[in-house]
Every structure is written in C-alpha cells, then in structure tokens.
Amino acid sequence: MTSYYAQLLVNGIIAGSIYAMFAVGLAMVYGVFKFINFSHGELITWGAYLTWMFSSSPFSLPVYISVVPALLITVGIGLAQDRFVYRPLRQSNPIAILIASIGLSYMLRNGIRLCWGSDLQTFDLPLSTGILLSGIYITKIQILMVLSALLFFSILYFLLTCTLLGKSLRAVSDNIELSAIMGINMTKVTWTIWVLASVFAGTGGILLALDTSLDPMMGMNSLIKAFAAVLLGGAGNVWGALIGGLFIGIAENISVAFISPDYKDFISYGLIFLLLLFKPRGFFGIAGGVR
C-alpha cells in the first residue's frame, strides 16, 4: 500500500517536472510582457511533432539528433510569434493581445493537423524498459524527463544569477519602462525570453511525447496545467513556476487514489479557480490602480 502511494508520488514528480518546464516560459512572458500567451502550448506540440518528423522516414534520424533541428524550428516559431504578432501589439490593450494569442494558437494547432492529421502518433522506438526500485516502477524515459528538468533548471539558474543577460532579464521583469531608460538592451532580452520559452516548452513536449504519445491537443491540455502552475508560483516568477509545476503534478497523481481518474484534470482546473478566488487580483499584482 505504501508503495502504491510512493508510485503515485513518483508519477507526480515526473509529470510535475514536465509541467514546470512548460510553465517557465509562460511565467517569463507574463513577467515581462504582462499577457497570457495562449500560443505557448503550441510550442510544446510543434517541438514534439517536429522531432517525430525528423526521426521517421524520409529523414529517419536518431531521436537524439532529430531534437536539434526540431528545437531550432520551434525557437523560430517562438521568435516569429513575437516579431509578427506580439511586438506590433505591444501597446494594445491586454485583451487584444489575448485574442490574438488565441487566434495564433488555433492557427498553429490546425497547422499540426494539416501536416500530420488528428490521430494519435507514437515514436517508433523499442518499448522503453523500466526499472523496479523497491516496488516503484519507472521507465528510462521518465528518468530522462526528471534529469532533463533538473539540468534545464540548473542552467537557467546559472543564466539568471551569474550572467549580465540574466540580471537585465530580471530587471526588465521588475519594471520594463525603467529598464529601457536604464539602457538595457530590450531586443536582446526579448530574444532571450522567447528562445528560453521555446526551448523549455519544446523539450518538455518532446519528453512528454516520448513517454506517452503525440496528438494535436497535447499543447493546449498542458497549457492549462502550466497556467495553474504559474498562478500557484506567482508573480511571473520562474522558481514559483517550478514549485507550482511540481505541486500540480503531484496533486493530480495523488488524487487518482481518491477520485476517478476521469476527473484528474479537475484538480488543476479546481486549483486555478480557488487560486483566482482567493487572490482575486491575480498573483502578478496586475491590479488596476484607482488613480
């Protein structure tokens, strides 16, 4: 019985580390540009599908090599989103940006369906063998998921704390107007944010697809989880997103012991609702002033 819960906990950590990777980009974009990027989910889907494309015929590259061109294209999509949609809308009201991001997400999602159809796809890999460790079963892919998350967040930590770029990034998310006045190179910061968001989301998507399967809705479904993680973590905060992601993953998987698995998604939905209700102005302190 203990091992049953331990298994659920491990499943939760695995899911949570992927949610955290999805949430980071969402949190960074919100932190700096103050809008909720709906099309963030499509970076997840495109990362996964592109890797799948390069690893199957006619390319037939090994998966670990396919990842490279796939992530490069995903980063390209991320940068193009900003260049052609979000940058021109920078001064518009947040709702116009939100609607544009919904449109963009719908467009990219249907692009996936156009290229590869709506059916489930899987990587053509030998069945991943698992390890049984004191009653807990875990596959190699799942170990890779947790390790990648660890590696990525370590690199991010180094980038944010030890480099000049990271420092300007943090300054910008504190106050974008002031930072521009202070002579921080906004173009560079903007690029960094979109590259980071795309790489994290794309890699997370690839890992998720390796563990389960690919379908055009995978990004949208993960986006809602990622959003719950961001809300939980608060303040466009990268580390909050990590903790939030882990929390959502664990809560969801533990809940399986108590409620029907059909309602697993209810956990993150319910959390979003509760968080919004008890922190009605949002966690990012975006409350409109009275002045």
Partner 1 sequence: MDYFYHILIICLIYSIFAQSLNLELGFTGLYNFGHIAFFGIGAYTSALLSLNGVPIPLAVVGAITLAGIAGALLAIPTLRLSGDYFGIATLVFAEMIHLIFLNERDITRGPMGLPNIPRPDWIGSGISSLPLFLAVTFFAATITFILLRRITNSPYGRSLKVIREDEFVAQALGKNTSLIKTKAIVVGSVLAGLAGVIWAHYITYISPADFTLQETILVLLCVVLGGKGTHPGPVVGAFVIIFFAEFIRFIPIPSEYVRFVAPLQGMVYGFILVIMMLKRPQGLISESRKFATTNA
Q: Would you tell me which residues interact with partner 1 (CB under 8 A)?
A: 35-36, 85, 88-89, 92, 94-100, 102-111, 113-114, 117-118, 220, 224, 227, 260, 262-263, 265-266, 269-270, 272-273, 276-277, 280-282, 286-288, 290
Q: What is the closest distance, in whole angstroms, from the C-beta atom of residue 237 to partner 1 in the complex?
A: 17
- Name the residue with tokens 């091992």: 3
Cβ closest to partner 1, residue 184 vs residue 225: 225
Cβ closest to partner 1, residue 60 vs residue 110: 110
Q: What is the closest distance, in whole angstroms, from the C-beta atom of residue 97 to partner 1 in the complex?
A: 7
How many whole angstroms separate alpha carbon 166 and alpha carbon 163? 5
Residues 6+ apart with CB under 8 A from 58: none
Alpha-helical (H) ranges within the chain are 2-33, 40-55, 63-81, 94-116, 140-162, 164-174, 176-181, 186-211, 218-233, 238-255, 264-278
Cβ closest to partner 1, residue 114 vs residue 147: 114
Other C-beta atoms closer than 10 Å to the C-beta of 60 total 10
Kindly state the tokens that stand for 201: 């989301």
Q: What is the closest distance, in whole angstroms, from the C-beta atom of residue 189 to partner 1 in the complex?
A: 22
For residue 220, which of 42, 101, 77, 81 has the smallest C-alpha distance? 42
Q: What is the closest distance, in whole angstroms, from the C-beta atom of residue 19 to partner 1 in the complex?
A: 16
Q: What is the closest distance, in whole angstroms, from the C-beta atom of residue 52 to partner 1 in the complex?
A: 17
Cβ closest to partner 1, residue 181 vs residue 290: 290
Cβ closest to partner 1, residue 76 vs residue 282: 282
- Contact 129/140 with Cβ under 8 angstroms? yes
Cβ closest to partner 1, residue 62 vs residue 280: 280
Q: What is the closest distance, in whole angstroms, from the C-beta atom of residue 2 to partner 1 in the complex?
A: 29
Sign (positive/negative) of CA torsion 238, 107, 18, 60? negative
